Chains A and B, each alone.
Chain A
């Protein structure tokens, strides 16, 4: 079947359509930025966007992506300069970094829906993403920073352009 990731269509005739998207990304498309942490939808390490909505790639059969657009961390921004990526740098959020692609993708989806999230909104949107290193306080701060940055620089519809 055909799958569209970060704007590029790939034909994968040999892959069982029931294969979870996570493994298609990692093992067939070599997009290893999306990570395996639990395989059961419990940790968020594998979070990607499907048509802008956050999904757990380990729980999503490839067949469910037919006709949809998938965005991975590699496609979050063209030059690694999504406001969240900049905020992550500013706050030096990552420790080991393993969970951070998933954290960024969850946070990016949150800001798309809700450009000015409160702490409560952040709690709700980010609770599915475990960070074993414990970078939670910086994640929260960085999301606020990115939201503020977007607030002060854009007055309108640039959200779509971020991808």
Chain B
């Protein structure tokens, strides 16, 4: 083992090594706030700066801050594109700079399908404010009325005289001008018919870097003298190590240090580093080898060792078979059920799910006297800042949270526990440290999507329409990750398609059952909508089948109910996308046995989505999905190609979950450690055709990244029922026997 601190290179040595072609990947050719990681977004010091978000260099280069994280939605391109549009900037002369975590940029938590919802108008105003200043600058230069100066394609023109000035030529004057305030700028927003990029789109900013392999993801940071760490964590949440062989780990070639991080044994676990035995080495492989040599064993008696999926899932289902805690109660459900012409009941369950981003959690940290710098693929750089500051006892200001590209996020990377690990190790060693989670670490220590059980009961009238509706849900809550003592679903989760499910029934009650947490529970792409939409849309199909009605027709009737005044605006939008999906998906076409269409629709993150899935099942039970039609009303479509991509991705993500998604626990330990145990959809299983149908709308933009997911699983299972008459109520589909004769 070498001494930790004696070998630290100075920054200057590092730069010298670089200049000499030392081959070290540069992590940060830092500008004033050190936010830069690709070198393509270096700022010109002569720039005019607007609101710390936009820089215009005398060369004409416009640099726009991306304050949200890029995890595959295209947001790092789309928001700057909105700015460029309103500014009348030419996209080819725009560079993007990734922001560090800093509250002055506003909310940066790239989660909840909120980036466009929360920033579209704000980015429009930023662009318009820039355009406004540049037009005033030109007017000042020409000494003409500003109303005769018009910005267009990276220059300002004066039509009457035929003069024009490029944006870059206006920098010096612009610097002297004060940007106008919000209400003045609001009036200067472009008319939507004049949009040049919004509603049209541009190519992904990182496309070249991705296809040539130069894109910088979390694990690509290389700092001089950096150690690579692999951490052995307790297989049971909250457990502690009994013993391990430190010297065996140190004996592995390349291993330099073994450090025990304090074990967190009590809930709430929040964003804390879980603790563990860290093996630090000169490269990732040596660290993993050293870790294997630890041969750690664990103290018995950890509370969560009682967690085994079989018994847990059964107990959870039992709890929804009994009356639970009432969370919503309207009309007389008992009387409705008792007096119904027909009664339908069903129970649904979905297992624990992992995010399984292709890029496992990873983070790099360096602690110096000035503070801590971390580089990580994070959805939430301000939470990184907070968590690292708390972990190290530093002020928030002393923590710089750089954001790399994310190799997938899906909610996992909103939680900065892995950056806290890197920060702790960097402090302990006095050297830069990169922590890399293995796939097993990722699957066994996730913030999981909750395992759930739901029971539905409906009383139908003689038309087959529900008069009474009872639904019960049990699942461990995300709230349990942040506060001790949680025993079941929280209000914010029930608001995701449970309380607000769209079926009209004169009497309706919702109840929750008991489900205590034994692993960290977190939000996964579309969150509790996953289980709620599965239950509601599957059950609607069951009700239709019970009344021998066409499923889609019955669905539209169930949404409208007995209302004579016509559906609300909200329900109408759901009906409209339902119709769009049904017509595009050729609902009602004759299909032979073994083939079938399934329908589902769901509203979440302000968006309205409906899906028709077609399945083809051989007599032997082999399932194919030839085609999926997905209709989406997402309000104004800001970047059509990326919206389509998100819908395609959501279909595949939803199918992956529905067909294969399942994690199990035995004695507190998650049993799956890689993609052999936790299967994900592969190319040959993906539908050859996904048709995305976007509603033309000038409404407020909605969320896009998540809302496509929830209706996929129920539409698939409804299609299976249509094809062969078998009902899948407990996901995933894969273990079910789908053979028919």
- Which of A's residues lie within 8 Å of B, judged by CB? 16, 19-20, 23, 26-40, 42-43, 45, 72-74, 76, 80, 85, 88-89, 92, 94-101, 104, 119, 122-124, 126-140
Interface of A is mostly: loop
Inter-chain contact B439/A39, CB cutoff 8 Å = yes
Closest A residue, CB atoms, query B410: A132
CB contacts under 8 Å to A, within B411-460, are: 436, 438-439
Inter-chain contact A96/B24, CB cutoff 8 Å = no
Most buried by A among B23, B210, B253, B359: B210
CB contacts under 8 Å to A, within B164-210, are: 203-204, 206-210
Complex Cα–Cα for A135 and B288 (A): 31
Inter-chain contact A33/B214, CB cutoff 8 Å = yes
Inter-chain contact B212/A123, CB cutoff 8 Å = no
- Which of B's residues lie within 8 Å of A, judged by CB? 23-25, 70-74, 203-204, 206-217, 219-220, 222, 228, 253-254, 282-285, 288, 356-360, 405-410, 436, 438-439, 641, 645-646, 648-653, 656, 674-676, 680-684, 686-690
Most buried by B among A19, A26, A96, A130: A96
Inter-chain contact B211/A94, CB cutoff 8 Å = yes
Q: A89-B203, A96-B405, A96-B408 are in contact. Are A131 and B688 (CB under 8 A)?
A: no
Inter-chain contact B285/A98, CB cutoff 8 Å = no
Closest B residue, CB atoms, query A74: B213
Inter-chain contact B406/A96, CB cutoff 8 Å = yes
Inter-chain contact B408/A136, CB cutoff 8 Å = no
What chain A residues lie within 8 Å of B649 (beta carbons)? Answer: 95, 133-135
What chain A residues lie within 8 Å of B680 (beta carbons)? Answer: 130, 132
Complex Cα–Cα for A13 and B684 (A): 42
Most buried by B among A45, A74, A80: A80
Inter-chain contact B358/A136, CB cutoff 8 Å = no
Q: A-B contact count, CB below 8 Å?
A: 195
Closest A residue, CB atoms, query B208: A80
Inter-chain contact B283/A45, CB cutoff 8 Å = no
Q: Which of A32, A101, A122 contacts B683 (CB 8 A)?
A: A122
Complex Cα–Cα for A92 and B219 (A): 24
Inter-chain contact B213/A33, CB cutoff 8 Å = yes
Inter-chain contact B438/A39, CB cutoff 8 Å = yes
Inter-chain contact A27/B285, CB cutoff 8 Å = yes
A-B pairs with beta carbons under 8 Å apart, 6 shown? A19-B285, A20-B285, A32-B220, A38-B439, A89-B208, A94-B206
Most buried by B among A89, A128, A134: A134
What chain A residues lie within 8 Å of B282 (beta carbons)? Answer: 27
What chain B residues lie within 8 Å of A38 (beta carbons)? Answer: 439, 674-675
Inter-chain contact B686/A134, CB cutoff 8 Å = yes
Q: Which of B23, B214, B288, B408 contacts A98 (CB 8 A)?
A: B408
Inter-chain contact A137/B24, CB cutoff 8 Å = no
Inter-chain contact A92/B439, CB cutoff 8 Å = no
Closest A residue, CB atoms, query B285: A23
Closest B residue, CB atoms, query A82: B211
Closest B residue, CB atoms, query A79: B212
What chain A residues lie within 8 Å of B436 (beta carbons)? Answer: 36
What chain A residues lie within 8 Å of B208 (beta carbons)? Answer: 80, 89
Inter-chain contact A135/B217, CB cutoff 8 Å = no
Closest A residue, CB atoms, query B355: A132
Q: A37-B358, A92-B645, A134-B648 are in contact. Are A30 and B24 (CB under 8 A)?
A: yes
Inter-chain contact A100/B688, CB cutoff 8 Å = no
A130: min CB distance to chain B, Å: 5
Closest B residue, CB atoms, query A45: B358
Inter-chain contact A40/B212, CB cutoff 8 Å = no
Most buried by A among B209, B254, B646, B682: B682
What chain A residues lie within 8 Å of B651 (beta carbons)? Answer: 134
Complex Cα–Cα for A128 and B438 (A): 19
Q: A92-B641, A124-B684 are in contact. Are A134 and B222 (CB under 8 A)?
A: no
Q: A42-B675, A132-B408, A134-B652 are in contact. Are A96 and B359 (CB under 8 A)?
A: yes
What chain A residues lie within 8 Å of B74 (beta carbons)? Answer: 95
Q: Which of B213, B215, B288 contacts A34 (CB 8 A)?
A: B213
Q: Which of B253, B410, B656, B689 contacts A137 (CB 8 A)?
A: B689
Inter-chain contact A136/B652, CB cutoff 8 Å = yes
